[in-house]
Every structure is written in structure tokens, then in C-alpha cells.
Structure 1
Amino acid sequence: MRKRAMDMGGTPSLHGYYMPAEWEPHSQCWIGWPERPDNWRNNAVPGQSAFTRVASAISKFEPVTVCASAAQWENARSQLPDHVRVIEMSLNDSWFRNTGPTFVIGNSPEPKVAGIDWKFNSWGGIDDGCYPDWSLDLLVAQKILATEKVPRFPHSMILEGGSIHVDGEGTCLTTAECLLNKNRNPNMTKEEIEDQLKAYLGVTKIIWLPRGLYGDDDTNGHIDNMCCFVKPGVVLLSWTDDETDPQYERAVEALTVLCNTTDAKGRKLEVIKLHVPGPLYMTEEEAAGITQDDAKPRLAGTRLAASYVNFYIANGAIIAPQFGDQKWDDEAVHVLSKAFPNYEVVKIEGAREIVLAGGNIHCITQQQPHIPQGHVQP
């Protein structure tokens, strides 16, 4: 396996590797198992039921591996379908989009899968992060790659997988609110961060949205709550028609950027609006079920960072959150069905349980690509 080379500009580079789009074939999906009572209410029992629904839905379309702590392995095994693999792994929390590896594909001398192991600091470090000890989460990507015997490329830059979204053809979407936040990589300039994304993800164009979803303070505005690719040249954008909603300003701001840029291939972007639910707020009962301990407080009355953009693209299916807001739940399924006409849209009821802890379906999943025979990088 060839080690990292230096490109002409002196930037460490994965020559010949690129991050495939999420709609490209997967060999499996990785999911963690929630348990910490200071983030998941009622000792994570409702959250575990939601994770089981997600894992079960995805497993109908591709293999799923769930990673649970030693204390939770038996509980996870008993709740999940027999065909879902459950392995033991230590973790601080279960957000595998952000702690798992970013899988990339290389073509030289033959197609192979590898994984980027970014640094993780609990979405902001000691002062701004979601919990003070993330030492176990730092090892999640390495353990996943070792389990699969997949080559690992460690990286010193702090980056979560939920902060990037690619089209597989050279374009990466992200937000300045997250990637340029001083609680991540304060010593790196925007240009230096761009250089690393280009070198490691195999992209040539970064589209920077100014901000993410309103209320997504935990992640400082991850792109996967705000905007994602449907296919090259087409994006979904978290939208609201309510001009009094603080999300409206962010959505219009993002729309302006998207309508005035092109992707890596020079295409103008088609923007599909996907209306947010609610607004939804944490109830007194929900907040009372959370043990206020080491993790970031979850307080009654807090607006939930709920977004239908936070779905997972499985092999042939869209695994879509439903929040119990009938009007917008139904509208989201309608929009997603039109955006992905060749996919089955699978509704996950009770996804509110995941958003109560700060994320959703995309945040808890991590796809591992499958390389079809005769694959050539686009």
C-alpha cells in the first residue's frame, strides 16, 4: 500500500484516492449504540429503540454493524435483528458519522478502500464540546478500520464527518460556521483547511455555506443538517417559508450562495427546498429524563435542531426521519420521493428521540463503500 505522498504544493495528499458520494454502493453501514444517561433520556431506552429502528431499516438494504460497549453488548444484541452484526467497542457516545472514519476509494494499482482517521474534540474541545472526555471516541475510527483490515490514513486536523458532504465528482459542501470555528483548528486558515479537504477527499471545489441549521449549536452548524447532494448538480436545502423563523435568514443566505456558484464540473446547482418541521422544542418531561452530569445540558424549552436533510442514503433506500409533525413529515417524504425516484423512502417514526440528543439519522450512521468490479474513479 502506498503511503501518503507530498503533492507539488507540499500538502500531504492521498494521491489517487477520493471520497465517494453517499449514493455509491456500500458494503455495510456502521452504527454506535447509545447509553450515556446525561445525553439520552430515561437511561437511553427510547434512544436505543430509535437506533434499533434505524439499524433494522438499513439492514434490509445493506449489511449493518452496530458497536456497543461491554456493558451494553448483550442489551444491543437482544434488541437488534439476528442478521445485524453486533461487536463490542468502547465509546464515549454513539455519533459514528463524526467519530468513525471517512472512507475513501483508491484506484492505483487496483481499486481499494481506505479510511481517513480525523482528530475529534467532542465538537469544540473542553470549553465548547458536548462532553469533557472523548478519549474513547478518538479510537473509534482506528478500531473500525482495524476490524475490517482497511488501510488507515491518520490526520491531525479536527474534523467531523457531518461537516462535509461530497458529490463524488470533485465538489464538497461545508459550512464556515463549523469548519472555520476557532474551537476546531484555530491555527489553520480557510485556505489551509481547503487544501487538506482537497488533498484527502479528492475534491477540487469547496462550496462554503455561511451557516448551518438554526439551533444546531452542538455541532456549530454541521452541513448534514442544512444541505446535501441528491446527485451531482442537485442539492437539498433545509428551508422554511416562515420569515419570522430565525432559520429563514440562514436558508435564504445559503440559497443565495448556492444559486451563485457552480460545482467542480462547472454546473449550476439545482436547489430543492426541504421544509424543516415545527419548530420543535424539548419538553419538561423529556428534559427531566436526562441526568445532568458531564455532558452538555439538555434543557426544557430548547429548540431542537430537527431537519429532514439528516437522512441516510442506503443501497436503494432513503432512511428518513419523522418527527411527529404530520404536515411536514408527509411533505418531506413527498419531496424525498421526487428527489430520489429510484429509491424506496423508508420512514423512521420517533426520530425525535435522536434529535433530543443533538443529531439524527445521518449523524449516527457511517457508510463503508463497496467497490464494484471494473470500478474507475469518475
Structure 2
Amino acid sequence: MRNPSEENFYFPAEWHPHEATWLSFPINTDTWEERLERIYPAYFKLIETIALSEKVRINANDAKTIELINGLLEKFEISKSNIELYEHRTNDSWCRDHGPGILVNRNNAERLIIDWEYNAWGGKYPPYNNDNEIPQKIAKVLQLDFVSPGIIMEGGSVEFNGRGTVMTSKSCLLNKNRNANLNQKQIEEALIKYYGVEQVLWIEDGIVGDDTDGHIDDTVRFVSENKVITMVEHNKSDANHAILKENLDLLKKMRLLDGKPLDIIEIEMPKPVVDSGERLPASYANFCMTNGHVIVPTYRCDNDEKALEVIQSCFPERKVVGIDSTEIIWGLGSFHCLSQQEPSPNFV
């Protein structure tokens, strides 16, 4: 089996230029229940915004789904010129986790797909066999080689600075519902080997309501090689306060490969989003980056505008766009969870 690290492949940071962003169109009524059609306005605003600066490539479950997407693109008056639909069977919409990890070679700009195993966050939501096959289907479409480590890994569980560092959470990657036969050292070795990193940094846990066991894309995100935004909760009676304070304390102690500390930007959590008695994992950190924009979930609360301002200050060369995620978050994820970038091979 190929060793991506030894061949000088690496996983670019999300701000690396994109060839496209991949989505898996929502079809699962177990996830969305009667709300499926209610997420369409925000979901198609996501598609429209991505398409302004790069291709949108969508895994569509079947011919009927392709017909539905085309009809909705017309309904929302969205140009199809930058949108490509692929008939790839799926189980759910969380392309960040079941989509391919696409590496770029520093020597020659070759690209390589890492085909991790996927088990729907510890077997919580079967079936997931179609989602698990998505990386190899995309490898075929893009005519790229792929490597299958045989290890369960989700894209939302890892965060990269593009310069040798990956950050993740113990609550997720060390959870025995993923890789019960691997310890922390072995997980780190896999991250280094297959993602082409040199350093693994660990936070502890994720936010309340997150059914992924603590994905880092709801808590801490790299916005440059040495800068992160981290979510904080000032209300000490809120269940997220202690979790996020512990993560912040850990971030303050971390050092990058050059020995320097992280530049940490704090963002206050949105007001709790509760629906049908359930606390939902609403977070501003679940934004996705495109070539021209940073797409940030908002939640109809007073903290939205401040969060957008802080994130905009981190991305002076991109336009920050807030999209109401109040309906989408019912599915327990938002825009980063829904998307997976395809890095351009023309920049290393």
C-alpha cells in the first residue's frame, strides 16, 4: 500500500485553492423527518454561494434525485453553469465525513484520495454502506488513485493548518466505537502516515448535542497556519461552558512545529437552539470555506452579527456570508458537515 507521507503528499488547509466543493444531496427522512423540504432554501443558498467561485459537485442518490435537484435549481433561480450532478447512491447528506480526503503532492501536484472507512459515527445510523463507497466513486470520476487504510475516520474530526499540523479531539478519535483495536499512538501514526502531517494536537471534547462524539469542526478551526478560532460559552450555567473552557486552556498550552503558540480568537456560542425539547449542536465554527467566501451558519440570535464580524476579520480576502441554519441544524450538522473540498492540483 502506498505511504502518502513518504511520497510527500499532504492534506491542504481548507483555504488552499479549490477545484470544487462536493456535497451529498439530502434524502434521508430519518435525519430530516418532515423538515426535509424546509431545509431547501438554506441548502440551495449554500449551493449558490459555493458556485460563485468554484464548481459544486453533488452526489445525487438516483435519477429521481437529479430531477429534483434540477427542478429546485430552477425554482431558486440558480445558474447550473458551475454545478455538476453525479448519480452516486448515498445514505445521508454529511459529505464532510463520508466524502474523500484528497491529498496534493508537494513535488508534482499529483492528487491522491484517502478512502477511509465510514461507520456513521460509531454505527449510530445504519445503513451507511452507500456513503462508505463514495470516496472510491469520486476517485473514479476524477480518475485519481486511492489508498484504503482500513481505518474509520471522518473529515469533521480533523482540522489542518496545511503546514504539518492536524488537530482533533480525544472524545471522537479515541472512542472505541470507531477503531477499538487502535490506541492513541496508533491513531497518531495513521494521521501522520495518511494525511502527510508531522504533529497531532489534541483537545478533549465537543459541544452538547453533537452526535459525532465531539467533532472538532464545531469547536476549533484553523483560519491560518498559526491562528485558530475557538468557541467559548460565557454563561457558566450552560453545559458547554466547562467543555469549551477546558479546550481553550489546552489551546493556550499548545505549540506548533516552530515552537510558537497558537494565535487564539474566541467566538461566543450562539444562544442555545432547542427544538422539540432537544438541544441542537449549533455553532458558528461549522463554517465552510470556498475560493471566494466563508459560509457561516447563523441561528436567528443576537450573537450572529458579532460572530460574522470576527470571522470576517480572519479572512480579509474572502467575503463572509451568513446563512440561516436553524432548519439545517435539526439534522445535527451544518455547512462544514455538509461539504468536502476538492483541492486544486495547480497550487502546492
Q: TM-score range by the shorter chain?
A: over 0.9
Q: Which residue of 2 aligns with 1:295?
A: none
Q: Which residue of 2 aligns with 1:313?
A: 289
Q: Pick which of 193-202 and 44-53 moved more.
A: 44-53
Q: Which residue of 2 aligns with 1:364?
A: 338
One-letter code aligned to 1:116: I
Using structure 1 for the length normalisation, give the TM-score.
Answer: 0.87
After superposition, residues 328-343 of structure 1 pair within 5 angstroms as: 328-343=303-318
After superposition, residues 78-157 of structure 1 pair within 5 angstroms as: 78-80=71-73, 81=78, 82-83=80-81, 84-108=83-107, 110-125=108-123, 129=124, 131-157=125-151
How far off is 1:13 after superposition? 5.0
What per-residue deviation string (whole Å, max 9, x for no partner) do you get for residues 175-219 of structure 1?
A: 000000010011101000000001111111111001112221x10
One-letter code aligned to 2:339: T
Asked whether the 8 Å contact 2:10–2:106 carries over to 1, the reply is: no
Counterpart-to-counterpart distance in 1, 2:239 and 2:257? 31
CA RMSD of aligned residues (A): 1.4
One-letter code aligned to 1:21: A
Q: Which residue of 2 aligns with 1:190?
A: 184
Equivalent residue in structure 1 for 2:217, among 224, 236, 244: 224
After superposition, residues 192-207 of structure 1 pair within 5 angstroms as: 192-207=186-201
How far off is 1:14 after superposition? 5.1
Q: How many residues align?
A: 341
Q: Which residue of 1 aligns with 2:23?
A: 31
Q: Which residue of 1 aligns with 2:51?
A: 59
Q: Which residue of 2 aligns with 1:275?
A: 268
Equivalent residue in structure 1 for 2:244, among 251, 260, 265: 251
One-letter code aligned to 2:88: M
Q: Pick which of 17-26 and 67-76 moved more.
A: 67-76
Counterpart-to-counterpart distance in 2, 1:348 and 1:61? 17
After superposition, residues 298-309 of structure 1 pair within 5 angstroms as: 300-309=276-285
Unmatched runs of 5 consecutive residues or more in structure 2: none
2:339 paired with 1:347: no
Using structure 2 for the length normalisation, give the TM-score.
Answer: 0.95
How far off is 1:47 after superposition? 2.2
How far off is 1:246 after superposition? 1.1
Q: Which residue of 1 aligns with 2:228?
A: 235
How far off is 1:328 after superposition? 1.1
One-letter code aligned to 2:336: H
Unmatched runs of 5 consecutive residues or more in structure 1: 6-11, 283-299
Moved over 4 A (4+): none
Asked whether the 8 Å contact 1:41–1:47 carries over to 2, the reply is: no
Counterpart-to-counterpart distance in 2, 1:115 and 1:264? 26
Identical-pair percentage = 34
